[in-house]
Chains A and B, each alone.
Chain A
Amino acid sequence: MTEVLGVAGLVKRFAGGVEALAGLDFGVRAGECFGLLGPNGAGKSTALKAILGLIEPDAGRIRLLGLDIPAQARQARARAGVVPQADALDPDFTVAENLLVFGRYFGLARSVLDARLEPLLEFAGLAHKRDAKIDALSGGMRRRLTLARALVNDPDVLFLDEPTTGLDPQARHLIWERLRQLLARGKTIVLTTHFMEEAERLCNRVAIIDHGRRIALDAPASLVVHEIEPQVVEVNGEGVAHWARAEAPALAARVELVGETAFLYCAGPAAAAAAAAAAGRTASLRVLQRPANLEDVFLKLTGRELRD
């Protein structure tokens, strides 16, 4: 399978000796949706900047679309689309002007842009807003316009930095649906996120990175199978801390207490049901039994302490 993006041994140190990337490795295959997951400060945004040639790494190798980065970053960016974390739309222009002006930065001719404008507005669901000012758009509309703007050069690969952060659930689902359309058209997508649900729904494979290093890489479902017990019992309520220390260890393979919730990781449905039943006998506790998910893997691998 052809590789759209290859990252090997990437190191980036910032002033003060902070090592944002400490030997990051991963590869992205053509046509897949690849997720870069990690807590705040893990190095996701730094990695994206390095891949686009916006910062120069201290060591390592990047190849994007067969081009060496940063040496050939300009040519690579001509064939890539970027949806940054902040929309950074041009507030002085209308919706349509934002697309046209951005297209010119790629050296696209007016005739090409005119032909692409309507389909892009349709795709973004903004055909009725083409002459609206940016101020008049909702957060979801702005995000869709930013996505359309990233497609103006008909890119082979699309980078999205936390594409649905700050959106309401309706707007988020619409973005996901659009991204699936792009995947169906054969685009390659690389996205960073800390919404595990987003990664599970969209990504063929995810890399979990922390402290500038890759700590896991696989399909979300495989990570859940291989990295963690299949069943989780969540217990919370008054006295949960005491209960978790006194009784929970005998009920589960692994127990974690986070704030006011105890997580009991169980080897199978039977064990989980037994643990849930045992917890249910203490009247003050609320109990939820569920299958393990990517978020459990993420928290197990990156730890539960707060990252600011």
Chain B
Amino acid sequence: MRRYAPPAFSLRFVPVYRRNLLVWRKLALASVVGNVADPLITLVAFGYGLGRLLEVVEGVPYIVFLAAGSMCMSTTMSASFEALYSAFSRMHVQRTWDSLLNAPLELDDVVIAEWLWAATKAAFSGVAIIAVVWALGISREATLLLALPVVALTGLCFGAIGLCVTAVARGYDFFTFYFTLVVTPMIFLSGVYYPMSALPDWLAAVAGVLPLAAAVELARPLVLGRLPDPLLAPLLTLLAYTGGALYLAMVLTRRRFVA
């Protein structure tokens, strides 16, 4: 079996992606509340509330510091929810994937569609936060536009990682482990709420290789009107996680379906 072959791209994935888009359009309101309102409240509450106590972090008002972390975190959560709970529902509970595979579609088409869809929903969330950051005047820098590709890549990265988890999940309970033991600690280590310089050295070293830390490292200078420096290291980190996770998700899903 071609279990270890790289993902095979084909435009056949488009109707599968479109199916998810059609469902989302029906349920868009609830989805917007969940994916946008929640991180928005975090940004505003922490930013203004805590900002009053902290005033300046790394030379900027706390809410400006928090904005970059907020958009990356919101993207990460949104990609993860879609790739875990929603994709698992379609794969395992509703057996939508089984029906897809009876049509002239391959598992690779389905996984790629789910991956791009999770990234799309994640990008919606990230873009919404960027729009709010602009609207509230937290940042009106031109470089803020470059945060768009950063949240897009972050969505692709965590969509792929999430699909790895889904491919080995036996039930929804399994996802609690991922969120509690992986996502939440990662958020606290990745410089979302406070600078990574506040971490002890050994922990900062661990945090330095996390994909969310790389995303925040790219997004924060853009909010402040600067280009990321270093640029290449965090960019390659995100790309490597994305490519590696997509490949792993493909292999694990093939194992689940074909075995």
A residues at B contact (CB < 8 Å):
14-15, 52, 54-56, 74-75, 77-78, 82, 84, 86, 88-93, 97, 101-102, 104-107, 149-150, 153
Contact = CB atoms under 8 A, between A and B. Distances in A.
Contact of B12 (A82, A86, A107): A107
Contacts of B99: 84, 88-90, 102, 149
Contacts of A14: 259
Contact of A54 (B15, B22, B101, B104): B101
A14 B104 CA distance: 25
Given A54-B101, A88-B95, A150-B102, 16 more contacts: A15-B259, A54-B258, A55-B258, A74-B104, A74-B105, A77-B104, A84-B102, A86-B95, A88-B98, A90-B23, A90-B96, A93-B22, A101-B15, A102-B99, A107-B104, A149-B99
B94 interface: yes
Contacts of A91: 94
B96 A88 contact: yes
6 contacts: A75-B104, A77-B102, A92-B26, A101-B22, A106-B103, A153-B103
Given A15-B259, A90-B19, A93-B23, A82 B94 contact: no
A90 B94 CA distance: 7
Contacts of A15: 259
B20 to A, nearest CB: 10
Describe A's contact surface by its main secondary structure.
loop
Counting from the closest, the 10 A-B pairs by CB-CB distance are A105-B103, A88-B95, A82-B102, A104-B15, A78-B104, A92-B23, A88-B99, A77-B104, A74-B104, A56-B1
Given A75-B104, A78-B104, A105 B94 contact: no
Interface string B95-128: 1101111111110000000000000000000000
Interface of B: 1, 12, 15-16, 18-19, 22-23, 26-27, 94-96, 98-106, 257-259
Q: SS class of chain B's interface: helix, strand, loop or mixed?
A: helix
A93 B94 CA distance: 12
A121 to B, nearest CB: 19
Given A56-B258, A74-B104, A77-B102, A101 B19 contact: yes
Nearest to B101: A54
Contacts of B23: 90, 92-93
A246 B218 CA distance: 89
Contacts of A89: 99
Contacts of B101: 54
A84 B105 contact: no
A266 to B, nearest CB: 46
A201 to B, nearest CB: 25
Given A101-B19, A105-B15, A86 B98 contact: yes
B95 to A, nearest CB: 4
A215 B72 CA distance: 61
Contacts of B1: 56
Contacts of B22: 93, 97, 101
A107 B94 CA distance: 23
Nearest to A92: B23
B96 A77 contact: no
A105 B23 CA distance: 15
A169 B1 CA distance: 43
B98 to A, nearest CB: 5
A97 B26 CA distance: 12
Contacts of A56: 1, 258
B101 to A, nearest CB: 6
Contacts of A54: 101, 257-258
B103 A77 contact: yes
Contacts of B259: 14-15
Contacts of A88: 94-96, 98-99
Q: Which of B12, B96, B103 has the most CB of A within 10 A?
A: B103
B31 to A, nearest CB: 12
A102 B103 CA distance: 8
A74 B105 CA distance: 7
Nearest to A56: B1
A19 to B, nearest CB: 15
A43 B104 CA distance: 24
B164 to A, nearest CB: 21
B157 to A, nearest CB: 27
Contacts of A149: 99
Contacts of B96: 88, 90
Nearest to A82: B102
Contacts of B12: 107
Contact of B104 (A93, A101, A105): A105
A104 B105 CA distance: 11
A52 B104 contact: no
A130 B50 CA distance: 54
Contacts of A74: 104-106
Nearest to A77: B104
A92 B23 CA distance: 6
A75 B12 CA distance: 13
Nearest to A76: B104
Contacts of A97: 22
